[in-house]
Amino acid sequence: MREGKLVFRALLIAGLVVAPLLLGGFAAKPLTSKPVEVTVTGIDYAFVGVPPQMRAGQAVLSFRNAGKVRHELVVARLAPGTTPEQIVEKLKKGALPRDVIIAGGLLFANAGESSPVRLSLRLERGEKYMIYCNFQDTLTAPRHWALGMYSGFSVK
């Protein structure tokens, strides 16, 4: 019996020592592991509802098209020091946007509808991202980004 009490006491002490370590380990984990959900709305021809800053980590983007024509939402990570305006100027001159790094992909939405799928991507701290629509209404019409359908956000 005495031996049993010693084992119990040893386990109790071990628990008192180990438990705070485990709890401390859990407390050290980020409490913000839930993805940030953002709905971006496209109109003819701009994006609205794009937060200027987003939190680093997992994000899920939804795309709603409130316009009268079909739109897309392309997400691109920008090279350091590059702005969305610089990218658009390069595109207007016919240059390939080599400063743009495709980071997440794209969503499509017909006029007046929402994309049936969402885009999940990992946003990197300190990075800048651009969203734009590359569609054109006819073969000779300007791309939507040239009409102002682009925006950007940074990640903190």
For Cu ion, the closer of residues 71 and 128 by Cβ is 71
Contact between 133 and Cu ion by CB under 5 A: the answer reads yes
Contact between 64 and Cu ion by CB under 5 A: the answer reads no
| Distance of closest approach, residue 71 Cβ to Cu ion, in angstroms | 3
Q: Which one of the spans 10-18, 48-56, 93-101, 132-140 is the region binding Cu ion (CB under 5 A)?
A: 132-140
Determine which residue in the list 135, 143, 151, 155 makes contact with Cu ion, applying CB under 5 A.
135
| Distance of closest approach, residue 121 Cβ to Cu ion, in angstroms | 20
87's tokens? 């990218």
89's tokens? 């100027």
What is the secondary structure of the chain as a DSSP string? -HHHHHHHHHHHHHHHHHHHHHHHHHHHS-S--SPEEEEEEEETTEEES--SEE-SEEEEEEEEE-SSS-EEEEEEEEPTT--HHHHHHHHHTT---TTEEEEEEEEEE-TT-B-SS-EEEEEPTT-EEEEE---BSSTTSPBGGGGT-EEEEEE-
Closest residue to Cu ion: CB criterion: 133
For Cu ion, the closer of residues 79 and 106 by Cβ is 106
- In terms of Cβ atoms closer than 10 Å to its own Cβ (0-12, 13-18, 19+), residue 20 is exposed
| Binders in 66-85 for Cu ion, by CB under 5 A | 71
| Distance of closest approach, residue 41 Cβ to Cu ion, in angstroms | 12
Q: Which one of the spans 6-14, 25-33, 89-97, 125-133 is the region binding Cu ion (CB under 5 A)?
A: 125-133
Contact between 128 and Cu ion by CB under 5 A: the answer reads no
Binding stretches for Cu ion (CB under 5 A)? 71, 133, 135, 144, 149
